[in-house]
Chain A
Amino acid sequence: MPLQGKAAQKPKTPSTDASPSNPLPATAPTAQPAPAITVAERTQQRTDESRPFEAVRRKSGLAALPDEDRAAWYACHFARSLPAKRTRLPPKFQRELWRAVNDAGLPLRPLPRTYSWGIDRSGQDVGRYPTPRFDERFAKRTRLTELVLQSKAFRERRDRLRSGSAEAGDIITDSDIQEERLRRSEMAKLKSELYGVVPEGGFATDPEWDDVLPLPVEEPEGALATISYPAEYATAISYLRAVMANKEYSARSLRLTETIIDMNPAHYTVWLYRASILLAMALPIPAELAWLNAVALEHLKNYQIWHHRHLLIDQHHPTLASDPAAAAALAASERDFLAQILAHDTKNYHVWSYRSYLVAKLNLFADPAELRAVDVLIDDDVRNNSAWSHRFFLVFSDPAASTPGAHATEHDPAVPQATVDREVAYAQEKIALAPQNQSPWNYLRGVLVKGGRELASVEGFAEGFVTGLEGKSGGKEDVRSTHALDLLAEIYAEKGDRERADLCLRRLGEKWDRIRVGYWEWRRKCLEV
């Protein structure tokens, strides 16, 4: 049924026309550019246009309208109510009615009196937008609809290819994927601008991950110690769970582990999964080591990195068995890297543990470069006990010069006496630099025990740090090293001189190392046994 027809082009006098051909309200006196009006105002104008007699009728009643207008109003009003009345009118009457309506040129369907334009991303009523801004928003919405349709077509094509029900022309090239990627990033941008939708992590919008159904972590109600994960992290983890469940070992899953490690390197599960991907895909280990170097330098405190490195070397080492040059090159590059990382924290426990693993794996015990590297650190800080520990390991766990499995605090006859001499001299030289430094004292004692030497072999050396104990030799009592006094107590006890041993221990508890008095008193009791 022609409800508006030509009538719309024959406006009645009081109406205003906001059609594109005449954008100005009829009341506007000049052709100047329209003052900025809001969308809501424009809507109000249009509503008013669709109810030309409304204002007068409201104000003064129908009777105030001229007869002609009143008749037109009646005709329209009646025509509008027809569908609801279900009354069958005689054909003639119908014709008359529609003619009257047409002649009146009134919009048969008035616009609703109130209209909501909704709110935008910042909660502002869109109706209050100035019209140009509204038009811009409208264009964005149009663009988004267009993109959504194109993207939908892409997904459908992809699904057909996956399910084997491809139609002619259904192919997806790399450039299609690239196009789709751009499309989705534009969509995400538009959604964010229009509706404030936070863009999802790369995975949710990446066409490469379309086929994966993410498995979000669901916490039970009232769970403890929950973390409000950033959206990006939560998304990545949900994809990780999905590919792990499928045991997928692929380039994209490798990239996924990298993304997660970057956000949370303490996530041990992702490291284990990464290692299995590397193994399954037989990826080149040197490339992984290079990547790992950068990660380690970025996350200095992390220790999963070091177990991962351990696994990589386990994997890589057998391939070098027949190539001593390559093995030496690996040792050298590892040593360089370790120096670099230890420069940040010379006592990093996990780095040193890895280092001892590496030495055993590549048999670097007798490698002069390894011993030199440790020397450098000891020269730099003679109190670096980690370096001392590593030296002890290098010297006394070398399978070529020790008994495998010998206990650390027991004599090992396989250790050459020349080695013992060298190490005793080394420790003594370092003790001289700072006698109260316990590291070389512990080392010295360890060497003597390993070498099967009597502690008394260093009696004279130790006595050099203690003078006039309780005025015994007439002079003032001076102790430059409590560790010397401790060792002397043992030496005297070893020689059966309980009295002197007891004196050393008593003076330690009374004066030189009072915090440990309980221990020194116990040592005195040990002398009585």
Chain B
Amino acid sequence: MRQRIKAAKRRARAVFRPRAAKMASNPTNTTTTTITNPGPPEAESEIDEEFVTESITYPRFMIPNLFTGPSPVVDVLETHTSNLQQETVKVCLPFLSAEDEKTKYNIHGVPNLYRKSHITFLRRSIGPMPAGFITADASRPWFLYWALTGLSIMGDDVSDLRQAVVDTARSMQNESGGFGGGGGQRSHLATTYAVVLSLAMVGGEEAFEVIDRRALWKWLSRLKQPDGGFQVCVGGEEDIRGAYTASVVITLLNLPLDLTQESPAYEADGSMNLLSGVPDYVRRCQTYEGGISGQPDSEAHGAYAFCALACLALLDDPRRIIPKYLDLPRLISWLSSRQYAPEAGFSGRTNKLVDGCYSHWVGGCFPLIEACLRPLDDSPPPAGDDATTPNPPRKPRLPPASESLFNREGLIRYILCCCQDQSRRGGLRDKPGKMSDSYHTCYVLSGLSSAQHQWDLTAPAPTLAAGAGDPVWTVLPYVDDGGVQVYEQEDLVRPIHPVYAIPQRSQEGMREYFLGKEGF
């Protein structure tokens, strides 16, 4: 009996596949939304006669053929890049087509989020690590950040980790300011960012007071460069990660903006401060493709796009500052190009492969982009300080997006179908065939959160220079008008701050604590 059902399934698939391809090339049959009527397959009348009896018993999932067949335009010429791309599609398709008989799918052919095993995976990731992990010796703070962020997104309370995070953070702080990868390592902006955000997530005065803000401020002054950017550590490279992570730390901890005299960017006339020139530096990283590179003159890359947008959004109202410093239409075009079918996840660069971590780096750009397309309430269109506006206001205002600028259903499908390690190991991954790790677990979940939520800026934000409050971000679960929700309601994860990449409550808690402090 069981055997016969299996055979029927296989046969059904063999026949349906070419049909899917045919549908893709048939303009009248293609729809941009999912197939909405449940039950028997749509367009049943088109199915070959001999096939009808079988297809009635066939447990069909409602998966748009967009995700189960090749894309309609494929070149003949084979190169290394296209071979890798084809291999990746081949690896992903069985997962996207709900073909694994051991997996439980919903009617949309999407499995549940294996929340419990991912929580176990992240909890274990901050426990003791075996000797094979010595190459992670300089990134231990990241393990904290990835785990705490991922756990918070999944709704797992992390306050039980407070004391351990506090003790660990203390052991990584240097007297000369900032946090290194571990005891005895020099301070680095990436690890400092990871530690500060981890402390914000466990919260509480003891956690906040670990940070020696005066020393941190002095150290940041030494990293500040005359061109507006930041070195990631004293004597280290200058890149856009430095600009983003420094801006996060400065704003979250409410640090003074003055530079010490030791700063390479110090000017006796006081014309430079910690945040001067940061937007110009970010602007220099935009490339001809529209995306953002790690440092000026390199290739556009997804991770740096998020750093650039989030960095700008920290310095001023994103609706004003992002269009002012970046060529927004080109950037949106480039970001949108990162999503390919049928995989439906994001790639990091033109002609590179899909990778779950870009669910955050690229996916996380869209809340910021969508926010800056919506008009500022009541307030007149941003005037800008004309003389210094790099993008002259000759361009017409861009309209808000009526529906989502990226394919949320596709991203959610890629995440739930392709990125989950379904074994007892748990965790999320780059793509099928790769091992899960805490980096991917964090950023894939963060991307899932972006895809499931809709962010809005409800009040105009005065600039930092004016010293007033923060932009007010509000969030609701995203509802696709007339569309379907392909994930189960229980798999809705928590929202995550679109700029600070931690829960909003954690960000507010830390920011408020330091706003209330006078001096160091």
Task: Say whether A516 faces chain B, with CB atoms less than 8 Å apart.
Answer: yes
Question: How far apart are B408's CB and chain A's nearest CB, in angstroms?
Answer: 8
- Which of A12-20, A261-269, A453-461 contacts the other chain? A261-269
Residues in B whose Cβ lies below 8 Å from that of A276 = 235
Q: Which residues of B contact A511 (CB under 8 A)?
A: 24-25, 27, 30, 72
B403 within 8 Å of A by Cβ? Answer: yes
How many whole Å from B280's CB to the nearest CB in chain A?
Answer: 9
Decide if A393 touches B297 in the complex (CB within 8 Å).
Answer: yes
Question: Does A145 sit at the interface, judged by CB under 8 A?
Answer: no
Instruction: Report the bound CA distance from A307 to B232 in whole Å.
Output: 11
Asked whether B27 lies within 8 Å of A267 as measured between CB atoms, the reply is no
Stretch at the interface among A83-91, A213-221, A329-337: A213-221
| CB-nearest residue of chain B to A477 | B27
Q: Would A356 and B125 count as touching, CB distance under 8 A?
A: no
Interface size classification for chain B: 35 or more
> Is B288 a contact of A228 with CB atoms below 8 Å?
no
Chain A residue contacts of B161, Cβ below 8 A = 224
Evaluate contact between A349 and B298: CB separation under 8 angstroms: yes
A499-529 CB contact bits vs B (8 Å, 1 = yes)? Answer: 0000000010111111111110110011011
| Beta-carbon contact of B236 and A529 below 8 Å | no
Given A219-B171, A353-B294, the answer on whether A227 and B137 have CB atoms closer than 8 Å is yes
Interface size class of A (residues with CB under 8 A): 35 or more
**Contact string, B121-148, partner A, CB cutoff 8 A, digits 1/0?**
0000111111101111111100110000
Q: Which of A22-30, A128-136, A368-376, A381-389 interfaces with chain B? A: A381-389
User: Whole-angstrom distance from the CB of B427 to the nearest CB of chain A?
Assistant: 15
Per the bound structure, the CA–CA distance linking A126 and B129 in Å amounts to: 37
> Could you say which residues of chain A place their CB within 8 Å of the CB of B349?
347, 385-386
Flag whether B407 is at the interface (Cβ < 8 A). Answer: yes
**Contact (Cβ within 8 A) B138 A225:** no
Cross-chain contact A217 with B182 (CB below 8 angstroms): yes
A380 and B83 CA atoms in complex are apart in Å by 13
Assess whether B81 is interfacial by the CB under 8 Å rule: yes
User: Are A353 and B75 CB-contacts (below 8 A) given A220-B170, A222-B163, A518-B406?
Assistant: no
Q: Is the CB of A220 within 8 A of B73?
A: no
Cα separation A304 to B82 with both chains bound (whole Å): 30
CA–CA, A450 and B77, complex, Å: 29
Asked if A312 is an interface residue, CB under 8 A from chain B, the answer is no
Q: Which of B138, B237, B289 contacts A310 (CB 8 A)?
A: B237
Interface residues of B in 266-307 (CB under 8 A from A): 283-284, 286-290, 293-295, 297-301
Assuming A225-B125, A352-B299, A386-B299, is B344 touching A264 (CB within 8 A)?
A: no
Sorted nearest first, the 5 A-B pairs with minimum C-beta distance are: A446-B288, A383-B81, A519-B336, A515-B341, A389-B299
Which B residues form the contact surface with A (CB < 8 A)?
24-25, 27, 30, 32, 66, 71-77, 79-82, 125-131, 133-140, 143-144, 161, 163-165, 167-168, 170-171, 180-186, 188, 233-237, 283-284, 286-290, 293-295, 297-301, 327, 329-330, 332-334, 336-337, 339-341, 344, 349-352, 390, 396-399, 401-407, 410
Question: A residues bordering B, Cβ < 8 Å?
Answer: 215, 217-230, 233, 237, 240-241, 244, 263-269, 272, 275-276, 307, 310-311, 346-347, 349, 352-353, 356-357, 360, 380-386, 389-390, 392-393, 396-397, 405, 407-410, 433-439, 442-443, 445-446, 449-450, 470, 477, 479-482, 486, 507, 509-519, 521-522, 525-526, 528-529
Q: Can you show 16 pairs from A to B with CB atoms below 8 A apart? A: A217-B183, A221-B167, A228-B129, A267-B138, A269-B184, A385-B351, A409-B286, A409-B288, A434-B75, A510-B32, A511-B30, A516-B406, A519-B336, A519-B405, A519-B406, A529-B398
